């Protein structure tokens, strides 16, 4: 079963392109349910990416993700998780398809412009990391 929500955040490298990225997201048919500009401490970045704690890039990733502002969002659309992964493209922008958000805006495999949840379960967990129920409408 697929739910209709996913979670994204614009990462520090793409913070100068909030408008352009949000426009692409809306034009692809996603509705913005919740959105804010905020920052992560290194500890919060570590918590958000805890699933990657054994990976060699984990410490760099946490430092990068706490290096500047981010824009987390909850998005709604039919088949949201999979359709959003298609819209953003591959993790490494060098491998991302033309026209995808990462192809257009990402700087590197680490500074890759946007996050996208990989499952319905994680979309719920990640959305709750940033937003209370009362902020979702």
Cβ closest to Mg ion, residue 33 vs residue 114: 114
**Closest by Cα among 60, 66, 68 to 43:** 66
Angle at 26 between CA 14 and CA 66, to 5 degrees: 25
99 touches which of Mg ion, ligand IDP, none (CB within 5 to 8 A by kind)?
none
In the complex, the smallest distance separating the C-beta of residue 133 from ligand IDP, rounded to whole angstroms, is 25
For ligand IDP, the binding residues (CB under 6 A) are 52, 57, 61, 91, 109-110, 112, 115, 118
In the complex, the smallest distance separating the C-beta of residue 2 from ligand IDP, rounded to whole angstroms, is 17
37: Cβ contacts below 8 Å, ≥ 6 apart: 18, 69, 70, 71
116 backbone dihedrals φ, ψ, rounded to 5°: -145, 130
From 13-21, 26-34, 58-66, 110-118, give the range in contact with Mg ion by CB under 5 A: 110-118
Binding residues for Mg ion (CB under 5 A): 118
């Amino acid at each position: 079963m697929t739910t209709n929500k996913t979670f994204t955040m614009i990462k520090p490298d793409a913070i100068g392109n909030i408008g352009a990225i949000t426009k692409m997201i809306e034009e692809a048919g996603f509705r913005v349910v919740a959105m804010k500009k905020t920052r992560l401490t290194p500890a919060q970045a570590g918590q958000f990416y805890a699933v990657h704690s054994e990976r060699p890039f984990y410490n760099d990733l946490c430092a990068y993700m706490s290096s500047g502002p981010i824009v987390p969002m909850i998005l709604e659309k039919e088949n949201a998780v999979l359709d959003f992964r298609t819209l953003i493209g591959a993790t490494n922008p060098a491998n991302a398809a033309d026209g995808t958000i990462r192809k257009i805006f990402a700087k590197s495999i680490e500074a890759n412009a946007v996050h996208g949840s990989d499952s319905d379960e994680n979309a719920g967990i990640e959305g709750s990391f940033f937003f209370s129920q009362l902020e979702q409408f």
